[in-house]
Structure 1
């Protein structure tokens, strides 16, 4: 069983810890999905004015109960969303994969409904189902990011569009809805299913 928590370090070859920073600093060609959409972190901005609370960086309690458990086509995953004080927890029984993208609302918010073309401000953590490694996390950086939903991978849009601001959601996405050609800088290979825990802080039309 592979336990993924925010404090774990993620090493990306020859570059900084954040995939956002990596793509900017290394000048890599932008990876695109089969539909031509850039990755989540390709379009995320690092100059967002974060809310006072930011994204919590503390590890969750050891005895925290999962809010969602999903058996996959192979392996399984359980997810607990973030709190005001602690980051989310994603536990993978690898190799985890799904044949269809699955979205689950961990905690419903009471804000407005997010449209599929909104620009959203979120805290998120992404885990590779193949080995349970954290490949990117705004929780590790302690600050949210914003991006337009019509400019990211389909799985991320499916997870957030139709949710309400303030919600915490989880998504287990197929490779086709994530990075079908892989994302080598983040250790994502073609065919990898990905799991995200996402807190929706704000959205604008």
Structure 2
């Protein structure tokens, strides 16, 4: 899915980042040998876990929206996240919640990051894009993604797992039909920040 601003281009056939191009990260994490940038390759993973959580994990974040509610459990080293939606879920303002703080450097607003993520449509509770399902992280510049995705990542630390309930204006205000996103849909993401380079 492509989280780019104007177009929803599929990371694997999804379009959610204004500029989220899905590419697997290499085992060589970007680093800054000059010491002038923020090279945050906190043991960057080269894959995303694909296994579903076992049992009924306790949610790390629960949020009642303008309508509906969500319960989010972040990913672990061996399992993908769980996003449960009581649909239709909507929010009027984007809400970000750190599920577990990482111990890496802070991610600058202009960084290029590698993340594992899953996106769910609040209207129907369906997954519309997931690098966890593909098993491959996505790498993209924060300057090229939808506003809500940037709000979820910039200022976090590398290694963090984060959830965001994204208001329509911070996602795809006019919708993204190819991804099943309609005008006015709120989106929910669970993600893990693997690395960042300024």
Q: Report the TM range for the smaller structure's normalisation.
A: 0.7 to 0.9
Distance 1:203 1:48 in 2: 11
Query: 1:6 — aligned with what?
Result: none
Q: How far did residue 48 of structure 1 move?
A: 3.1
CA RMSD, Structure 1 to Structure 2 (Å)? 1.7
C-alpha displacement at 1:189, in angstroms? 0.2
1:179 and 2:156 correspond: no
8 A Cα contact 2:161 2:191, kept in partner: yes
Which region of structure 1 is more displaced relative to structure 2, 43-52 or 69-78?
Answer: 43-52
Alignment pair present for 1:106 and 2:93: no
Partner of residue 44, structure 1: 21
Return the alpha-carbon distance in structure 2 between the equivalents of residues 156 and 105 of structure 1.
13
Structure 1 22/41 Cα, relative in aligned 2: closer, same or farther at 3 Å?
farther
Partner residue, 2:76: 83
Q: What is the match of residue 61 of structure 1? A: 54
Judged with a 3 Å threshold, the aligned counterparts in structure 2 of structure 1 residues 105 and 47 are, in CA distance, closer, same or farther, namely closer
* TM-score, scaled to structure 1: 0.81
CA gap 1:21/1:87 in 2 versus in 1, 3 angstroms: closer
Structure 2 stretches of 5 or more lacking a match? 1-8, 28-43
2:144 maps to 1:167: no
Rounded Cα–Cα distance in structure 2 between residues aligned with 1:74 and 1:130? 10
8 Å CA contact retained: 1:120, 1:149: yes
**Aligned-partner Cα distance in 1 for 2:184–2:138:** 26
Moved over 3 A (4+): 50-53
CA displacement, residues 119-144 of structure 1 (integer Å, 9 cap, x when unaligned): 00000000000000000000000010
TM-score by length of 2: 0.83
Which residue of structure 2 lines up, in the alignment, with residue 158 of structure 1? 151
Shift of 1:53: 5.6
The alpha-carbon deviation at position 70 of structure 1 amounts to: 0.2
CA-CA distance at 1:156 after TM superposition: 0.2
Displacement of 1:54 in angstroms is 1.1
Aligned residues: 174
Pair 1:21-2:1 in alignment: no
SS at match of 2:51: coil
Q: Is the 8 A contact 1:109 1:167 kept in 2?
A: yes
Query: Counterpart in 2 of 1:196?
Result: 189
Gaps of 5+ in 1: 1-17, 24-30, 32-38
48-57 vs 174-183, which moves further: 48-57
Q: Secondary structure at the match of 1:21?
A: coil
